[in-house]
């Protein structure tokens, strides 16, 4: 079993919002992702999709996008991104997947997901200038920090249960936004996180990517246009 990650698929099979308006790099990218995914991932593997999955506004509009993902191998762990407007709650997303007959989807939202080798925690996170006002950004950042704490507390609880059995499982954090603002990094270090993935950055934003080991954590940028539309292996 392996764990892979990818972010920012920005699928639009149910709405008219093609990504190639942002450059030729996005031409036919859905087929490129599909080819790379199928050649890499086995059914027993996990794939973390770290936000901005679909341009859909409603769950109904997102059906074709999640059908595309459902038809790809592996077990999918999804994180909400800032453009995932259809995303309501974990319960509603899980009900949606069940009603559509989509299998092996796990929603990472105020919880932690136990895989055979790692514990996956995470949240959307946020940026300093994403909202309409600085005050709004501060409130959203505080809320996302709390969601990360909730996830990590659950991850730590699972981790400690394994430690009682002599089993060591490290924690991987999946975010949509880069974590290098406010207290996100500090929170992860306090919970002994080993790896953190993120996406969100496009185009000129790639110049702001930070990767490698910083402090005690290994960071990886997994935005699909940054990785050449390839999945990043985490384990």
Q: Which residues pair with 47 in a beta bridge?
A: 4, 76
Q: What percent of the chain has pLDDT over 70?
A: 100
| Domain region containing 69 | 3-233
Beta carbons of 53 and 199 less than 8 angstroms apart: no
pLDDT in tens, 151-175: 999 999 999 999 999 999 999 999 9
The Cα–Cα gap between 190 and 153 comes to: 11
Which of the four pLDDT bands, split at 50, 70 and 90, describes residue 21? confident
pLDDT(22) > 90: no
pTM exceeding 0.85: yes
Beta carbons of 106 and 114 less than 8 angstroms apart: no
Beta carbons of 76 and 49 less than 8 angstroms apart: yes
Which of the four pLDDT bands, split at 50, 70 and 90, describes residue 88? confident
List the CATH number of the domain containing 102: 3.60.21.10
Q: Which two tokens stand for residue 54?
A: 């679909």
pLDDT in tens, 119-146: 999 999 999 888 889 999 999 999 999 9
Q: Which two tokens stand for residue 200?
A: 């969100």
Domain total in the chain: 1
């Amino acid at each position: 079993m392996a764990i892979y990650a990818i972010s920012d698929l920005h699928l639009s099979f149910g709405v008219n919002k093609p990504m190639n308006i942002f450059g030729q790099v996005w031409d036919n990218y859905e087929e490129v992702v599909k080819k790379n995914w199928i050649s890499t991932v086995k059914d027993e593997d996990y794939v973390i999709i770290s936000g901005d999955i679909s341009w859909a506004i409603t769950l109904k509009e997102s059906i074709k996008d999640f059908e595309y993902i459902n038809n790809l191998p592996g077990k999918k762990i999804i994180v909400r991104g800032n453009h995932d407007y259809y995303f309501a709650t974990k319960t509603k997303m899980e009900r949606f997947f069940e009603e559509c007959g989509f299998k092996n989807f796990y929603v990472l939202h105020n919880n932690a997901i136990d895989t055979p080798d790692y514990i996956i925690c995470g949240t959307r996170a946020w940026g300093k200038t994403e909202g309409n006002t600085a005050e709004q950004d501060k409130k959203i950042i505080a809320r996302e920090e709390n969601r990360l704490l909730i996830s990590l507390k659950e991850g730590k609880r699972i981790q400690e249960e394994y430690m009682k059995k002599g089993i060591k499982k490290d924690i991987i954090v999946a975010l949509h936004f880069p974590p290098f603002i406010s207290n996100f990094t500090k929170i992860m270090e306090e919970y002994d996180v080993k790896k953190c993935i993120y996406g969100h950055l496009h185009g000129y934003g790639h110049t702001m990517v930070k990767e490698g080991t910083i402090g005690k954590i290994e960071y990886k940028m997994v935005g699909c246009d940054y990785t050449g539309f390839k999945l990043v292996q985490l384990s």
